[in-house]
Amino acid sequence: MPRRGLILHTRTHWLLLGLALLCSLILFLYLLECAPQTDGNASLPGIIGENYGKEYYQALLQEQEEHYQTRATSLKRQIAQLKQELQEMSEKMRSLQERKNVGANGISYQGNKEQAPSDLLEFLHSQIDKAEVSIGAKLPSEYGVIPFESFTLMKVFQLEMGLTRHPEEKPVRKDKRDELVEVIEAGLEVINNPDEDDEQEDEDGPLGEKLIFNENDFIEGYYRTEKDKGTQYELFFKKADLMEYRHVTLFRPFGPLMKVKSEMIDITRSIINIIVPLAERTEAFAQFMQNFRDVCIHQDKRIHLTVVYFGKEGLSKVKSILESVASESNFHNYTLVSLNEEFNRGRGLNVGARAWDKGEVLMFFCDVDIYFSAEFLNSCRLNAEPGKKVFYPVVFSLYNPAIVYANLDVPPPVEQQLVHKKDSGFWRDFGFGMTCHMSFDLTGGFDMEVKGWGGEDVHLYRKYLHSDLIVIRTPVPGLFHLWHEKRCADELTPEQYRMCIQSKAMNEASHSHLGMLVFREEIETHLHKQAYRTNSEAVG
């Protein structure tokens, strides 16, 4: 019995051992089957298979990196899509707000008093349809024609050039240059990227490539503005090696008027300090004070006068004139500053501005030859604002009355000469001496290095232009420069002397009157011939 149990125990032991070996073999085969496929030179993972491990994990890292890149790309695409949708929604909201503002503030001066169309694009197209772009307009006379001005890349040839501007503008003023550069670029965009309805054929270059135009291919252009509709541009382009021209017509339509600001301005307590620098010229000062008494003392009554007199000669006469006006009109709002120096307009205005010690005040820099109205004084108050705006009115300068009224024995009184006609005077668009402002201290004053005639006013004007102030420059009907004979001193620099002579010539008479003087002998000869012929016919 023990022997049989021993045998049974031994068999059980070997059976368990065999089962264990069989399980181990199965596990081993399973591991071999599940192991990653490798090339013949690869070794198993572990210490001996270190090279395989690097490649394996690098592959895993690369796979994860590609996964995250794909995910990031997807997210970026979604973000871009959301941004586009947000932008579209913002534009829709802005468009709705603009339409609302147009409805509330817009004013449309159309002939039939219609409101501006609700669709802004529709309105702009209607402006083009009304303009003289595709079909000519029936005009009552030659004066109804709106002329074009022509331009190239560097010049603008202008018709409305005034008395002192040149027939060509070079360099072109910045705002006009920016406008024309934008127009040329828009014309190039039209040519290089044509729409389906454009009447032009695709052309290829000499090597078969697409023909691309640039700004050097711009030949010339024309533009004109209809004030109530917009600006029309006619552009011409040409390649140097081609015979054909490309013509583009553009139109910049004007939109409906929009309210920017509406305010009430109280000028009832606004005092103007009129500052006049002076040397000698006592007769001109007496005439100035006559106008000052009529306008400032009797009408406006909100004026202080500051006279800065240079030298001793004539000083007593000036004092006498001021005292006489003060006693007659009970006017004492004046200051007389005496400087025993050579006349310097910039110095005089500097001293006069600083002679006021009663706080901030509106100043009008004036000359003794200036005649102004009460309406001008109010314009001065309305267009000058401390730290914001300065007013530079353009003066109407009268010609020599001895030439203008040569057909009369004696020229009429000054008050009757104050008319705006081409033979009586001109807008002095090159003069910057008259100015209304409350921001003189912001510029540092005049350049004291400028001596004698002219120049100091231009320096101050440029200082204002270089600042953040708004410069309002416009012709003013209530401001006249009375004619007086100019003397160009020998002490002036060549540039100042040339400017003085030019000003002297322009102030003398109109072109037609000067022409009559130049051709006076020829005219007299003609009149003698006509008189002789008439007498001969009468005798015959």
Tell me the C-alpha distance between 273 and 349, whole Å.
11
Beta carbons within 10 angstroms of residue 326's beta carbon: 14
pLDDT digits (tens, 9 = 90+) for 158-187: 666 555 556 676 667 777 888 899 999 999
Tokens 């003609």 -> residue: 526
pLDDT at 3 over 50: no
- The model's pTM: 0.64
For residue 267, give the nearest of 382, 439, 384, 372 by alpha carbon: 382
33-37, 392-396, 454-458 — which is least confidently predicted?
33-37
Tell me the C-alpha distance between 347 and 460, whole Å.
12
Q: What is the pLDDT of residue 486?
A: 80
Tokens 């350049």 -> residue: 447
Burial (CB < 10 A; 0-12, 13-18, 19+), residue 208, is exposed
- Percentage of the chain with pLDDT > 90? 34
pLDDT digits (tens, 9 = 90+) for 106-158: 433 333 344 444 577 777 777 778 777 766 667 676 566 677 777 788 888 76
Q: What is the pLDDT of residue 108?
A: 37
Tell me the C-alpha distance between 511 and 419, whole Å.
18
The dihedral sign for the CA sequence 69, 73, 74, 75: positive
Domain boundaries, the chain: 142-266, 272-515
Q: What is the pLDDT of residue 136?
A: 66
Cis bond upstream, residue 171 (ω within 30): yes
Tell me the C-alpha distance between 403 and 388, whole Å.
43
- Percentage of the chain with pLDDT > 70? 69
Tokens 């102004």 -> residue: 372
Tell me the C-alpha distance between 122 and 522, whole Å.
62
pLDDT digits (tens, 9 = 90+) for 324-383: 999 999 999 999 999 999 998 989 999 999 999 998 999 999 999 999 999 999 999 999
Q: What is the pLDDT of residue 163?
A: 52
Residue 495, token pair as written in the block: 């540039």
Tell me the C-alpha distance between 439 and 463, whole Å.
11
Cα 125 to Cα 117, 118, 128, 185, 311: the distances in Å are 11, 13, 5, 21, 67
Q: Which amino acid is at 438?
A: M
pLDDT digits (tens, 9 = 90+) for 405-414: 988 989 999 9
Question: Are the C-beta atoms of residues 363 and 276 closer than 8 Å to each other?
Answer: no
Element (H, E) at 395: strand 389-398
What CATH code would you report for 272-515?
A: 3.90.550.10
Question: Are the C-beta atoms of residues 370 and 428 closer than 8 Å to each other?
Answer: no
